[in-house]
Amino acid sequence: MVGLLILVAGIVLALDQATKVIVVASMLEGQTIPVIDGVLHWTFQRNPGAAFGLFTDFPVAFTILASAIAVGILVYARRVPDRTHAVALGLVLGGAVGNLTDRVFRPPGVFRGHVIDFVDLRVWPVFNVADAAVVVGAILLILAQYAQERRARAARG
């Protein structure tokens, strides 16, 4: 299961960083490009806060939090009970490391770097691939845990 978890995390990290490189290279900050007008736009923003533009005054705290989440998942990786948990944790790990990479390597400086956001659904704050992976991974983890507990209850009788 460790291999699957790392594979999923690596794919998420690669997609996240590749899309951010494309956005930074091809768009101006604040620029919006309609993909499906009124539904999906690419909007280039630099986010000093947490996911979805929340808590912009604490970038160092989110660097520490993302680091702790990544380390926690890696420590737990050998005890992952099944594929669903591995995929879910891989999504969360890849997303955490994707945004952590921005915080460490992007301006204005190490541990204060701004995360690149660009997915704009017009009804939700602008986000990126890493944010989406963390949210989907967290939801999948809740569902996987619920299913595991339900199977355990059924086995006990």
Mean pLDDT is lowest, of 59-63, 99-103, 132-136, for 59-63
Q: Where are the domains of the chain?
A: 2-156
Is 82 among the catalytic positions?
no
Model-level pTM?
0.90
Distance (Å, rounded) from C-alpha 34 to C-alpha 110? 32
Q: What is the pLDDT of residue 155?
A: 87
Q: Would the pLDDT of 40 be above 60?
A: yes
Kindly name the residue from 16, 102, 120, 131 that is annotated as catalytic. 131
Task: Tell me whether residue 117 is one of the annotated catalytic residues.
Answer: yes
90 and 4 in contact (C-beta within 8 Å)?
Answer: yes
